[in-house]
Amino acid sequence: MDIRIATRKSELALWQANHVASLLRLLPEINSITLIPLSTKGDQILDTSLQKIGGKGLFIKELEVAIAENKADIAVHSMKDMPVKIPTGFRIAATLKRESPFDALISRNNQKLIELPEGSIIGSSSLRRQAQILKIRPDINVKDLRGNINTRLDKLDHEEYDAIVLARAGLERLGLSGRITETFLPEDMLPAAAQGVIGIECLSDRRELIAILAQLNNENSEQTTSAERSVNRDLQATCQSPIGTYAIIHEQKCIVESMVSSPDGTKMLRDSIEGNKTETETLGATLAARLLENGADDILNKALI
Helix (H, G, I), strand (E, B) or coil at 19: helix
CB 132, CB 265: distance < 8 Å: yes
Give catalytic status of residue 139 as yes or no: no
Query: Pairing between strand 90-95 and 198-203?
Result: antiparallel
Q: Is residue 259 within a helix (H) or strand (E), and if so which, with residue range?
A: strand 253-261
Q: Which of 43, 47, 73, 81 is catalytic?
A: 81
User: Which amino acid, 239?
Assistant: C
Residue 183 DSSP label: E
Contacts of 278 (CB under 8 A, 6+ apart): none
Cα–Cα distance, 88 to 256 (Å, whole number): 27
Q: Whole-angstrom Cα distance, residue 145 to residue 250?
A: 36
Q: Catalytic positions, please?
A: 81
